[in-house]
Structure formats: structure tokens, C-alpha cells
């Protein structure tokens, strides 16, 4: 009988695995440090944004199971898989399942939206971050935070603050929606792990999964 350990195959490459856990850590650090540790919050957001961009690129040029072409399915296939999964009779996939792939894409979109809205709020409210030189309405306000403070009683500054409040509220709403998706993702992983009798969390750490049985 073949040893179970030697039967494992490599599914997730290092970039996918490291990127996945980096996003997990970066998102939760950013989520819980918004007001008290704004600098840490911003850098965690930069980290998440950078990894999201890298993951999207890797989704086109990476190895087989890292590519979007391997796990993006038609909506009907996603719904069918989810229905079967709830009934614990879903087909097992080596890479992402249709539902897992859909969640991965949605999370990437939501994380990108979270980072972008945060950058906009950071620029408009604090005149900081990479978008700061581009969001203010006059060149004077884009020079430095000191000049912005000098004009705080002006109409343009009030307009900037109002826009900052909008983006801050939007950033918070998207962040909370993303957090809900994260917990739904965790729930789906746990259900799939039980249904397919494999530890999907461990697979995302080691990169290895058992192969499909030979016909």
C-alpha cells in the first residue's frame, strides 16, 4: 500500500500560499488599527493592496492551479456546486472548487475596493498617501499638509473634508462587507474540508493535497 504522505501532490505554489496568509494578516491588522494606529493601518493596507495586485498578475501567468482559467466557472456551476456542498455530495476539485474560485475572485475585488477607498480617505482627510497629490482641487492644497491646514476655512477645504467623509464611510462599509465575506469563506472551507475529508487550511500552508484516485 502506498504511503499517504508520498501520495500527496503539490497544488498551491509558494506565491499563492504566502500571498494568501499575508493578505489574512494584513487585512486583520488594518481592520483593528484604523483609529489608534493610523500609520500601521495605512502600511497594512499598502501590503494588502500590493499582494492583491501581485495575485491578480499571478492569476494570468502563474502555474495551473493559480490561474483564473483554472477556477473561474459559470454562475450555474457555482450554484450547483454550492447546493451539492451543503448536501455533502459535491465533487472534489484539486484546485479551487467553483464556489471557492468565485469567493476568491469576489474577495480580491472587495480587497481592492477596500484599499482604494482607504487611500482616497487617507488622501482627502490627511493629505497623505500616494493619491494625495491627485485628489485636492488646487495645486496649493497638494503641496503639503501645512498648506491644507492654512486653508481649512475655505470652500475648497470644506469640499475636500466632505469628500473625505464620504470615502471614509465607504471605506468602512466595504471593510465590514469584506469581513463578512471572510467569515463566509472560512465557513465554506470548513464545510468543504468535512465533505471531502481533507484539511484545506493545512493544504494552503503546505501546498500539498492528495491526488484524485486513479480510474
Other residues' Cβ atoms within 10 Å of the Cβ of residue 89 = 9
Alpha helix stretches (DSSP H) within 90-129: 98-126
Q: Which residues contact 120 (CB under 8 A, 6 or more apart)?
A: 131, 135, 167, 171
Whether 159 is in a domain gets the answer yes
Whether 180 is in a domain gets the answer yes
Whether 48 is in a domain gets the answer yes
pTM reported for the whole predicted model: 0.84
Helix (H) or strand (E) holding 209: strand 208-209
CATH number of the domain to which 24 belongs: 1.20.950
Range of the structural domain that residue 102 is part of: 9-209
99 contacts 91 by C-beta, under 8 angstroms: no
Give the pLDDT score at 143. Answer: 45
Whether 215 is in a domain gets the answer no
Partners of 9 in beta bridges: 209
Whether 54 is in a domain gets the answer yes
Whether 214 is in a domain gets the answer no
Measured distance CA(201)–CA(189) in Å, rounded: 8
Number of compact structural domains in the chain: 1
pLDDT means per 10 residues in the chain (215 residues)? Answer: 64 97 97 86 96 98 96 96 91 95 98 96 88 66 46 49 81 97 96 94 96 62
Whether 3 is in a domain gets the answer no
What sign has the CA pseudo-torsion 214, 206, 193, 6? positive
Measured distance CA(88)–CA(73) in Å, rounded: 20
Whether 4 is in a domain gets the answer no
Amino acid at each position: 500500500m502506498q504511503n499517504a504522505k508520498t501520495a500527496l501532490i503539490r497544488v498551491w505554489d509558494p506565491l499563492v500560499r504566502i500571498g494568501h496568509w499575508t493578505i489574512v494578516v494584513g487585512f486583520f491588522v488594518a481592520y483593528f488599527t484604523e483609529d489608534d494606529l493610523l500609520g500601521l493601518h495605512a502600511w497594512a493596507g499598502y501590503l494588502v493592496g500590493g499582494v492583491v495586485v501581485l495575485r491578480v498578475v499571478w492569476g494570468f501567468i502563474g502555474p495551473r492551479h493559480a490561474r483564473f482559467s483554472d477556477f473561474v466557472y459559470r454562475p450555474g456551476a457555482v450554484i450547483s456546486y454550492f447546493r451539492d456542498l451543503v448536501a455533502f455530495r459535491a465533487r472534489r476539485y484539486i484546485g479551487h472548487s467553483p464556489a471557492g474560485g468565485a469567493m476568491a475572485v469576489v474577495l480580491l475585488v472587495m480587497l481592492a475596493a477596500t484599499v482604494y477607498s482607504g487611500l482616497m480617505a487617507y488622501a482627502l482627510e490627511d493629505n497623505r498617501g500616494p493619491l494625495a497629490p491627485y485628489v485636492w482641487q488646487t495645486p496649493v492644497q497638494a503641496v503639503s499638509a501645512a498648506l491644507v491646514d492654512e486653508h481649512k476655512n475655505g470652500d475648497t477645504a470644506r469640499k475636500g473634508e466632505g469628500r473625505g467623509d464620504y470615502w471614509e464611510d465607504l471605506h468602512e462599509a466595504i471593510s465590514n462587507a469584506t469581513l463578512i465575506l471572510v467569515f463566509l469563506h472560512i465557513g465554506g472551507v470548513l464545510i468543504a474540508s468535512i465533505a471531502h475529508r481533507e484539511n484545506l487550511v493545512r493544504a494552503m500552508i503546505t501546498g500539498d493535497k492528495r491526488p484524485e484516485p486513479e480510474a
